[in-house]
Amino acid sequence: MIAKAKEVKATKQGMLDNVMRQFNNAADIIDLNSNIRKILEITNNELVVHFPVKMDNGEVEIFTGYRVQHNNALGPYKGGLRYHPTVDIDAARALAMWMTWKTSLAGLPYGGAKGGIQLDPSKYSISELERITRRFTYALGDNIGPELDIPAPDVNTNPQTMAWILDTYMSTKSPSERSKNMHVVTGKPLGAGGSEGRDRATGYGVFLNIKFWALEKKIDLKDKKFIVQGFGNVGYWTAHFLEKEGAKLVAVQDQFGCITNENGIEVETLFEYTKANKGSILGFANTTPIKNKDFFSVDCDICIPAALGNQITEENAPSIKAYLIAEGANGPTDINAEQILLKKGTDIIPDILCNSGGVICSYFEWLQNRNGEIWHLNEVMEKLEKKLEESFRKVIETSKRRAVDMRTAAFIIAIERLELAYVQRGIFP
Catalytic positions: 114
Give me the least distance between CB of 227 and ligand NAD, in Å please.
12
SS3 355: coil
Residue selected from 53, 87, 221, 329 as contacting ligand NAD according to rule CB under 6 A: 329
With CB under 6 A as the contact rule, which of the stretches 122-130, 150-158, 215-223, 243-251 interacts with ligand NAD?
A: 150-158
- Measured in degrees and rounded to the nearest 5, phi and psi for residue 129 equal -65, -35
In the complex, least distance from residue 155 CB atom to ligand NAD, rounded to whole angstroms: 4
Judge whether 93 and 46 are in contact, CB under 8 Å: yes
Rg (CA), the chain: 21
Chain Cα centroid distance, residue 20: 18
CB of 380 to ligand NAD, least distance (A): 14
Strands (E), 148-235: 149-153, 225-229
Q: Binding of ligand NAD at residue 154 (CB under 6 A)?
A: yes
Q: Which of residues 367-396 bind ligand NAD (CB under 6 A)?
A: none
Which member of 43, 133, 330, 333 binds ligand NAD (CB under 6 A)? 330
Helix (H) or strand (E) run with residue 53 in it: strand 45-54
Beta carbon of residue 396, minimum distance to ligand NAD (angstroms, whole number): 21
Quick one: which segment of 124-132, 152-160, 177-185, 363-371 binds ligand NAD (CB under 6 A)? 152-160
Q: Binder to ligand NAD among 129, 307, 325, 341 (CB under 6 A)?
A: 307
> Smallest gap, in angstroms, from Cβ of residue 310 to ligand NAD?
10
Which residue in the set 43, 103, 186, 202 belongs to the binding site for ligand NAD (CB under 6 A)?
Answer: 202
- Nearest CA-CA partner of 186 in 46, 367, 354, 45: 367
Among 355, 368, 369, 408, binds ligand NAD (CB under 6 A): 355
Q: How many residues does the chain have?
A: 429
Residue among 154 and 334 whose Cβ is closer to ligand NAD: 154
Which among 410, 406, 361 is positioned nearest to 233, based on CA atoms?
Answer: 361
Residues 229-288 that bind ligand NAD (CB under 6 A): 229-235, 253-255
CA 239 to chain centre: 16
Residue 384: what residue type? L
- Give the whole-angstrom CA distance, residue 163 versus residue 115: 17
Please name which of 420, 372, 400, 48 lies closest in space to residue 193, comparing C-alpha atoms: 372
**Binding site listing for NAD(+):** 202, 233
Residues of the shown chain interacting with ligand NAD in the complex, contacts defined by CB under 6 A: 153-156, 202, 229-235, 253-255, 306-308, 328-330, 355, 358
